[in-house]
A = this chain, B = another copy of it.
Amino acid sequence: MKPSDKRKVVVLLSGGIDSTTAFYDASKSYRLCAALSFDYGSRHNHRELPFAKLHCRRNEVEHRIVNLGFVGEHFKSSLLKSGEPVPDHDYDEKSMRSTVVPFRNGIMLSIAAGFAASCGAEGIVIAAHGGDHAIYPDCREAFMAPMARAIEAGTYEKIGLLRPFINHSKADIVRRGAELGIDFAETWSCYKGGETHCGVCGTCRERKKGFQSAGVEDPTLYCE
């Protein structure tokens, strides 16, 4: 198949492990019209976004940063600079629930659908995965399946929602990323957004465990 025959997609790219792997994975099968990052005033956006930008530049894919200033203005969440401190716990229901930006995936996917329609893409790729399910209701397939139908029915172009990792674990994604030759030192997870990964917040713990379970060497520099 020539590159021009490939289906055109927009990829949601935060600069973390999952979406960076989805970006490289999608580039094998699809033509990437653009990668979308969202700046919603989180503490770690300034760490993630430069990596998203780097991967786009290196692969000559247009990178768009969508400013969601309204989230900080109207919503409450510890993930936001305006909220409570990020909890230092395992990535489980109780401790991480305060980090939820309510309906974040719904908001990002809706904007991605509008953008995809506007730029002639036929699909959207999101890296939501099995490990997210327990905590965030808008990462689960029970959300993703009707959202996919809503996007298809709500756009003239019948835009598809592709979720390649929905039945995969974090470890599966780390293995796939390693297979694709991704240098994971060029990705960011830590919700605290310091100089290096803190090593103790929920996402840092999940990151460490992902590498351990995958049997892949973790190149990340952690504070603890």
Kindly identify, within residues 43 to 65 of chain A, every residue whose CB is under 8 Å from any CB belonging to chain B.
64
Across the interface, which residues of B come within 8 angstroms of A110, CB to CB?
Answer: 103, 106-107, 109-110
Task: Evaluate whether A155 and B114 lie within 8 angstroms (CB atoms) in the complex, with A70-B67, A146-B147 already known.
Answer: no
Total interface residues on A, CB under 8 Å, equals: 43
Across the interface, which residues of B come within 8 angstroms of A102, CB to CB?
Answer: 113-115, 117-118, 155-156
Task: Evaluate whether A154 and B149 lie within 8 angstroms (CB atoms) in the complex, with A103-B117, A113-B106 already known.
Answer: no
- Tell me the smallest distance from the CB of A218 to a CB of chain B, in Å: 31
Task: Evaluate whether A111 and B156 lie within 8 angstroms (CB atoms) in the complex, with A102-B117, A117-B102 already known.
Answer: no
Across the interface, which residues of B come within 8 angstroms of A115, CB to CB?
Answer: 74-75, 102
9 A-B pairs closest in CB distance: A102-B117, A138-B154, A146-B149, A143-B154, A103-B114, A106-B110, A147-B150, A146-B146, A146-B150
